Structure 1
């Protein structure tokens, strides 16, 4: 089981790099700009060359290793292979993770805001944590506004992370057309949260390797240095949301602990 979990971590977090995060982050920008012919580039050709496709294949293999490890872990612990619940236990550990997940959601909201503020400042010509020459190059190449778009979607992702801890993460809010007032299918936030956590984990490991941790100024002022924290916070928030919202198991009949029912 240890080997399987290590293999999963290596394939998901260590082998891929930040190019997967770049491909995912810029996808909404290309989708929004597609009707207007902007940016003037082939998204799939730029975002998914063979090295990036290979990373995605490795990450997919890591997900399979994680699934195998989880199934083996449940089976050998005498737990339900479908939901992981074990009869006769209090569920206090699950309740604790669910509470930690609530606080983690607020951290997952704050971290991308810091990154977004920096990129918006660059788009406005403010050399926040960056040189004036670098700002000039960003505007000459058009990357400044692409970065602003990335920052906008990053901030939106932070707001959506709050939904993992707020009531509107379970019931569609009234400002959502058609779906307002209906129950949110928990599989949607959990799946998206898990996928983004994996993407952030791979980018975060790159940030850990290239950041000069011996120089406090280098990492305190670097938005990239907070990517590992962002990944951990989103992962914990997603796990807490899963424990709070998972329904009664059709296989073993177990339900959520009373402490998690609100």
Structure 2
């Protein structure tokens, strides 16, 4: 009985909440430095995050306050949910990290690569991971079944509809491009573009299906989980924010998207299609992770 009572304390005093506080303090100071006129010239979207600097400062303060409050009220489900919301918010704010990856891996596409912006965005994503891990640590304390996991058994099968949602999103995006012509793509036509388009099809068709069907079990878990979660979260955040910006522009009487030589109707098809793709891929990766995880050392499930 004593060991059972002591286990929650070890979880509560883990290094993750402390690391989240250190991140919030350090990144908050950096955001204040940027907000007071010391930010470098960002190349990609005009700023490193998709929110103003002072909003980012406020986000750091709220993140730190949430972690401290949860440490004092470790059984508060409202505070746990708050940390999950904050983690998702930081992912959305750093959505241009997806373009950082593409620009870094395929420089021939012509996408501007901003090293400082990338470092700032990935720092924000690191904070999101720490906030999520903190929320998860306290969330597991609320389940008396097992202090190591959620106490849920591994499913023997997972739904396939998320994968097909991703496939439909990818094919819809390709259909929208076909309607306006593949020659109108803003990317340069070279080897990098060929690699990009090949990876586009693999990530939009092959990867989602491998995550939910039996052939995917023959691959190492990391080979499917890393791109599944990484691309899924990146696409969802980037194009989710993009869709909200388009709606906001229309409400203000502005064009939904900046003029890049493509009809506006294209974006109303392509951006929601990307969002479906990202959501489907993320859900498919989550199902794959649950089905293939190792049995918990605490409860055996």
Instruction: Provide the TM-score with structure 2 as the length reference.
Output: 0.58
Match of 1:8 among 83, 87, 90: 87
1-side partners of 2:109 and 2:195: how far apart?
Answer: 15
- Partners of 1:20 and 1:47 in 2: how far apart? 10
1:236 match: 283
> Which blocks of at least 5 consecutive residues in structure 1 are unaligned?
31-38, 126-134, 172-183, 255-262
Aligned length in residues: 207
Cα deviation, residue 190, structure 1: 2.3
Question: 1:143 maps to which residue?
Answer: 188
Q: Say if 1:25 and 1:153, in contact at 8 Å, map to a contact too.
A: no
- Preserved CA contact (<8 Å) 1:71 1:81: no
Matched residue SS, 2:235:
helix
- Rounded to whole Å, the distance in 2 between the matches of 1:202 and 1:40 is 22
SS at 1:232's partner residue? helix
Tell me, in whole angstroms, the C-alpha distance in 2 between the residues paired with 1:150 and 1:218: 24
Asked if residue 169 in structure 1 is aligned to residue 216 in structure 2, the reply is yes
1:78-227 mapped onto 2 (5 Å cutoff):
78-86=144-152, 95=155, 99-100=158-159, 102-119=160-177, 124-125=182-183, 135=184, 138=186, 143-145=188-190, 149-158=195-204, 159-171=206-218, 184-212=219-247, 218=265, 221-227=268-274
Change beyond 3 A, Cα 1:79–1:231: farther
Q: Contact 1:105 / 1:161 at 8 angstroms: preserved in 2?
A: yes
Contact 2:163 2:209 in 1 (8 A): yes
Give 2:137's aligned residue.
71
Give the 3 Å change call, closer, same or farther, for CA 151–187 of structure 1 in structure 2: closer
Confirm or deny: 8 A CA contact 1:11 1:61 kept in the other structure: yes
Cα distance in structure 2, aligned partners of 1:7 and 1:192: 23
> How far apart, CA to CA, are the structure 2 residues paired with 1:28 and 1:116?
22
What's the counterpart of residue 259 of structure 1?
none
C-alpha separation between the residues in 2 aligned to 1:188 and 1:67?
22
Structure-2 change in CA distance of 1:26 and 1:154 (3 Å)? farther
Deviation at 1:203, TM superposition (A): 0.6
Q: Does 1:245 align with 2:292?
A: yes
Measured in 1, the distance between the counterparts of 2:109 and 2:288 equals: 40
Does the 8 Å CA contact 2:158/2:291 hold for their aligned counterparts? no
CA-atom RMSD in angstroms: 3.3
Unaligned runs of 5+ in 2: 1-79, 257-263
Normalised to the residue count of structure 1, the TM-score between the two structures is: 0.66
Q: Please tell me whether the aligned partners of residues 117 and 151 of structure 1 are also in contact (alpha carbons under 8 angstroms).
A: no
The structural deviation recorded for 1:57 is: 0.7
Q: Distance in 2 between matches of 1:250 and 1:228?
A: 37
